[in-house]
Amino acid sequence: MQSKTITATKNYPNKPITVIVPFSAGGGLDLVARTLEKMAPKYLGQPLVVVNKTGGAGTIGWNELVNANPDGYTLGMSAIDLLLHPLYGSTKYHYPSALEPIAQVSSLPQIMVVPAEQSLQDIDALIKYAKQHPGQMKCGHGGIGALSHVIGETFAKEAGITLEQVPFRGGSEVTVALLGHHIQIGFVNPATVKEQIKNGTLIALATTGYQRLTDPDLAQIPTLKEQGFDIVLNNWFGIVAPKELPPEIKAKLEEGFKAMIADPEFKANIENLGLQVEYLNSDDSKEKWRLDGDKLAKTIQETGILEQIKAQKN
C-alpha cells in the first residue's frame, strides 16, 4: 500500500486536476481560474478542470474541498471570504485551518459601481439621494457575510445612510442586476465589470484599495479613502488544497503555480481582466490569512455587522 502511495506521489500529476470555484461563472474568481486553466498543461503537465460549485457565499464549494481526498487532484480557488465566514460562527468548518494555501495569485480592491443611466455620477450625489429616500436604494453583494456585503454595510454606516442589502451568488449576478436596474449600487471585483465601465453602461464611483488601480482603463477611479471614508479592504485570489496534502505533491504544485504566475503571458492575461498579479507562496499566504483575519474580526465587531449578519442568517 505504501509503495503504491509513493509511486502515485512520484508520478503526480498523471491525470487532470479538478479546481473548485465556489462562486458563479463570469465572476472575478472564476475568471482567474480560467486564466490558470489555459496555462496549466505547460507548467503542471496536466490540464485543470474548472468546476463551479455555487451557494452559501462560497461555503458550498469550500465545504466540498475540505472533504476532498488530499491527493492533489482536487484543488480550489480561495478569496478573502474564506476568512470571513468562520468569524460569523455558523460554518461547518474553520477554513483557514481546514485548508492549505498553495499560492496567492492576485490582490485587488472591490469597485463601487452604479448604472450609467441612474444620474448618480458621484458619491456625494448618491449619498444625498439615499438620505432623501431612506431604505429605497438597493445594494447588491455576493452573499450574506461575503466581503462585498461587509463593504456595503460599512459604507452605509460611514456615509450615514440606509441601504437595502441584496444578496446574489456572485459578482456576475450583481452586474446583471445593475444593468437591469433591479439594484442601484454594487460592490464587485474589477474583472467582473471592467468591460461595462469601458463601454459606459456602468459608472465606477470608488475602489476600496490602499491606492488606485494600475490598469490604465481603471486608474481614474478614486479610492474611498481619498474621498474621506475610512474604508480600505482588498480582496485576494489564490489556490488552496485540502489539509494533509503529501509534502512532495504540495512542493510540485507550489513550483508549478509559481512559474505559471511569473509567466509574462499570464501576467498580461490577468491585467487584461482588470486585476493585478501579487504572488505569495504558501507560507506567506498563511501569514496574510492571519493578518487579514485579525483585521476583519475587528471590522465586523466594531461596526456591529457581526450581530447584524448573525440576525440575518437566523
For the stretch 83-113, pLDDT in tens is: 999 999 878 999 999 999 999 999 989 999 9
pLDDT at 50: 98
Q: Mean pLDDT of all residues in the chain?
A: 92
For residue 303, pLDDT over 90 is answered with no
Stretch 152-172: mean pLDDT, rounded?
91
- Measured distance CA(308)–CA(314) in Å, rounded: 10
Q: What is the DSSP letter of 126?
A: H
User: Is 38 exposed, middle or buried, given 0-12, 13-18 or 19+ CB atoms closer than 10 A?
Assistant: middle
Stretch 264-293: mean pLDDT, rounded?
94
Residue intervals of the chain classified under CATH 3.40.190.10 are 111-232
Stretch 289-310: mean pLDDT, rounded?
87
Stretch 211-240: mean pLDDT, rounded?
94
Q: What is the DSSP letter of 145?
A: T
Residue intervals of the chain classified under CATH 3.40.190.150 are 2-107+236-293
pLDDT at 251: 97
Which ranges of 56-119 does DSSP label H, i.e. alpha helix?
59-66, 81-87, 95-98
Max intra-chain CA distance, the chain: 71
pLDDT at 3: 43
pLDDT at 313: 63
For residue 48, give the nearest of 9, 21, 86 by alpha carbon: 21
- Measured distance CA(297)–CA(302) in Å, rounded: 9
- Measured distance CA(299)–CA(314) in Å, rounded: 21
For the stretch 239-251, pLDDT in tens is: 999 999 999 999 9
Q: Cα-flanking dihedrals φ and ψ of residue 266, to 5°?
A: -65, -45
For residue 2, pLDDT over 60 is answered with no
pLDDT at 307: 85
> Domain 2-107+236-293 adopts which CATH fold?
D-Maltodextrin-Binding Protein; domain 2 (3.40.190)
pLDDT cut 90: percent of the chain above it: 71
Total residue count of the chain as it appears in this document: 314
Task: Count CB-CB contacts under 10 A for residue 185.
Answer: 25
pLDDT at 5: 52
pLDDT at 1: 44
Confidence of residue 48 (pLDDT cuts 50, 70, 90): very high
- Measured distance CA(168)–CA(174) in Å, rounded: 6
Stretch 37-57: mean pLDDT, rounded?
94
Stretch 53-80: mean pLDDT, rounded?
95
CATH number 3.40.50.150 given to 111-232: no
Q: Which residues contact 309 (CB under 8 A, 6 or more apart)?
A: 88, 144, 145, 149, 300
44 grid coordinates: 503542471
149, 170 in Cβ contact below 8 A?
Answer: no
For the stretch 113-151, pLDDT in tens is: 999 988 788 999 999 999 999 989 999 998 777 889 899
- Measured distance CA(59)–CA(76) in Å, rounded: 12
77, 239 in Cβ contact below 8 A?
Answer: yes
For residue 175, pLDDT over 90 is answered with yes
For residue 306, pLDDT over 80 is answered with yes
